[in-house]
């Protein structure tokens, strides 16, 4: 596997993951009540705790994208 293949891999991983992040953020903004009602059936959690979980999930997902997708892609761009 050459460096161009790995660069393309990380580029597409970044594009897909950022798309998932944007879709998740839009769903949390516009469909938060629906999501809470659906999850409240399975987990007895307050609305405030649910909001904290959503924000923590989105924040952690952003960190994972930065560390595991964007940083290696930029490093490969610099090296090649």
Q: Tell me the pLDDT of the chain (80 aa) as tens digits.
A: 899 999 999 999 999 999 999 999 999 999 999 999 999 999 999 999 999 999 999 999 999 999 999 999 999 999 99
Which residue range is the domain that position 12 belongs to? Answer: 3-79
pLDDT of the residue at 33: 94
Model's pTM, two decimal places?
0.88
Whether the Cβ atoms of residue 69 and residue 15 lie closer than 8 Å to each other: no
Whether the Cβ atoms of residue 10 and residue 65 lie closer than 8 Å to each other: no
Tell me which H or E stretch contains 15. Answer: helix 3-30
pLDDT of the residue at 9: 97
The C-alpha atoms of residue 21 and residue 1 are separated, in whole angstroms, by 29
pLDDT of the residue at 46: 95
Count how many domains the chain has.
Answer: 1
């Amino acid at each position: 596997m050459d460096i161009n293949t790995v660069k393309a891999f990380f580029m597409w991983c970044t594009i897909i993951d950022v798309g998932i992040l944007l879709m998740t953020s839009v769903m949390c903004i516009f469909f938060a009540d629906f999501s809470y009602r659906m999850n409240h059936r399975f987990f007895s959690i307050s609305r405030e705790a649910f909001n904290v979980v959503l924000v923590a999930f989105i924040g952690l997902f952003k960190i994972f994208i930065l560390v595991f997708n964007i940083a290696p892609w930029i490093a490969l761009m610099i090296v090649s």
